[in-house]
Chain A
């Protein structure tokens, strides 16, 4: 018998076992490669898509999510792969023991089984790569046919090679370990049923007598197959961690970021300004999701809002607030600041342009999410800057000042505001009027009474304004707000799509685990059937094992996922009872789907004739 004929014959004669392992390895490699290739398009592609869009604060949150998800996807794939190879080789431990007992030298045994491992790993990884590329192509085509924009780009072959090489190496490392371990144990021990497949000699724990027979068998099997059980739990924990970050994190981030936008733009806010100013303001807000550029002379006299308009708006019914603003674009200069606690100066005197908005602090209708505080009525020469401006032009903004047209302003807050992509500076209206010499506002924002019919109030404002100045328009900011919110929702929904694929990979992994435990316990299941157990009992035992594994890993994965989401990924998250219900529903659905999926081999197995099970 040559060194290759034994392994090949062994693999070919154990068709079921060999094909099961190859399918599992193929699935893992394919799922991971597909995740990486596809996420490069929809996930990392988001980074490219939002380039020069969003604000710095929003981009940071998106980037963190994408990078974290990408890392987790790879880790999950590697863990799944190592688990599968470990189980495969652990099942061969008994054969190795038998061969040793028959007098076969260690190096020959090692050669046989390493060859088997190499063949299976090579075939599994190769097929996985092919399937992964095909799945990526099919998904992209499918998405395109549904009208979703997925970036069309050639396959990143470096990624393919890296995935293949890493998984191949991992498979060899994790697969070689059980072979090496077994060559060290005594033959009698190696082929003892209590040794192979990681079965420990003592059960280690007792189940109470009241617990059902099925759970008793299920739990003891799990506790005895410690190595395999711990590995599958680690594997599924990583998957559920990814799923939680994607689902729970995605939902929380989606609602939190939408809430920030809604507070910054304002709900039921109406803009009254010259038609050019209306277009420009709309464009400034749209820069959150479009890259169109346009500039106008903000201080053109035609754009200024007359006292008549302000007075008329102030006297109209169903209007809960009037917020006059002077919008302009100015040259901004960073001024050095001093951090007292650290005895050091900060700031590089950077210069740039910013949208500058003069507001009357007590009349501001919007409420940005901010660090620090907003402008106060009785204080002047203070400024609140947008997050992009803060990130790009200031070192420690809240300890610094900025210069506008020769005047210094103390920065008291940094806000998340989608207008002009966060490149914005809010200053008191009077100060801006002094600097620019423009004594009237060029836009007015009014908030309609929430209890009134928004459209009706909007129409009455339109009528009033048309009478006063036909060049002026009334713009309903709800439309722009909804577009901003849709854009954010679209991005999050794509990020949340990633864990769905991981869950599919996890289900495959769990199926493989269930199949392997069934294979290992098939004789016993046959006995149970022969002694009067009906097929449902077998399904109950296997489903009990799956459930314990799933619930343990789910609890750990979800707990870590929530902690990571809330403590690392999203600052000041918005969590309502609806959010909790939505997240719970999604995660329970994921859990249930994975569980049901994993029952397939048990149901199929239970239908087999008893003699087929026992032989």
Chain B
């Protein structure tokens, strides 16, 4: 799929964590361009900085140096209110460890990003039902997260990420903690997303997901290289 507009543009991105006296360079001069509707996969060994890169692209973290522009906004210089609104409206984030809110039911977990955007109650109800259908969890709507299996929690996390119908999705190791059968369901969801024209960046080792990619990137020791070339 050809991109007609740039969604993500990262230039010379560096991220260094200071742990006591030691400095750990997680990202080193990362350059990245993701076009609209593009399905990008970032692979690489554990600890290579995939999650950190996704966090910076998603406005959860800020780079130590370099520039990260998403939808034309330089996230490195934006304040927290802007970033909160950005995360709520423009990005759908699926975390590696699901991160559902334990005090909310499955339906409420999917609905709450919509509540922040003040969607009408009827719309929210219909949207939740629709998303539960997409991830195949209609029968689990009133359950709490601790009553679900890992795969089910991951699917709820997908539904939640799609709640506000964001144009851009960041997905971190979606099949990392799942068995083969459950992973297949996640791959099917990703295929649907690709078909819908969403801009997606996935961090994964899963070959089935890598095969879906328009752009394949590899991150090792903080350096990003393209596998397409």
Contacts and interface: CB of A to CB of B under 8 A. Distances in A.
B121 interface: yes
Contact of A216 (B104, B113, B116): B104
A259 interface: no
B88 A531 contact: yes
Nearest to B121: A209
A531 B61 contact: no
Contacts of A203: 103, 144
A537 B112 CA distance: 12
Contact of B95 (A194, A527, A529, A533): A527
Interface of A: 192-194, 201, 203, 209-210, 212-213, 216-217, 220-221, 224, 523-524, 526-535, 537, 609-611, 614
Given A213-B115, A220-B103, A610-B61, 16 more contacts: A193-B146, A210-B121, A213-B116, A217-B101, A523-B99, A530-B99, A531-B87, A531-B88, A531-B112, A531-B113, A532-B84, A533-B84, A534-B81, A537-B116, A611-B55, A614-B99
A217 B144 CA distance: 13
Interface string B29-49: 000000000000000000000
Contacts of B112: 213, 528, 531
Contacts of A213: 112, 115-116
Given A221-B103, A224-B103, A523-B99, A609 B87 contact: no
A194 B116 CA distance: 27
B60 A530 contact: yes
B217 to A, nearest CB: 22
B130 interface: no
B141 to A, nearest CB: 13
A398 B203 CA distance: 92
A203 B146 CA distance: 12
Interface of B: 55, 58, 60-61, 80-81, 84-89, 93, 95, 99-104, 108, 112-113, 115-116, 121, 144, 146, 160
B101 A192 contact: no
Contacts of A535: 80, 84
Nearest to B117: A532
A611 B61 contact: yes
Instruction: State the 10 A-B residue pairs at the shortest beta-carbon distance, nearest first.
Output: A532-B88, A534-B84, A220-B103, A527-B99, A532-B87, A213-B115, A610-B60, A194-B146, A524-B101, A217-B103
10 contacts: A203-B144, A220-B104, A524-B99, A524-B101, A526-B99, A527-B95, A527-B99, A531-B93, A532-B86, A611-B60
A540 to B, nearest CB: 12
Contacts of B81: 534
| Most chain A CB within a 10 A radius of its CB, from B86, B103, B115 | B103
A530 B58 contact: yes
A201 B143 CA distance: 11
Contacts of A537: 116
B47 to A, nearest CB: 14
A354 B55 CA distance: 88
Nearest to A221: B103
Contacts of A614: 99
A216 B55 CA distance: 28
B116 A533 contact: yes
Contacts of B87: 530-532
Contacts of B93: 530-531
| Most chain A CB within a 10 A radius of its CB, from B55, B60, B61, B101 | B101
B170 to A, nearest CB: 10
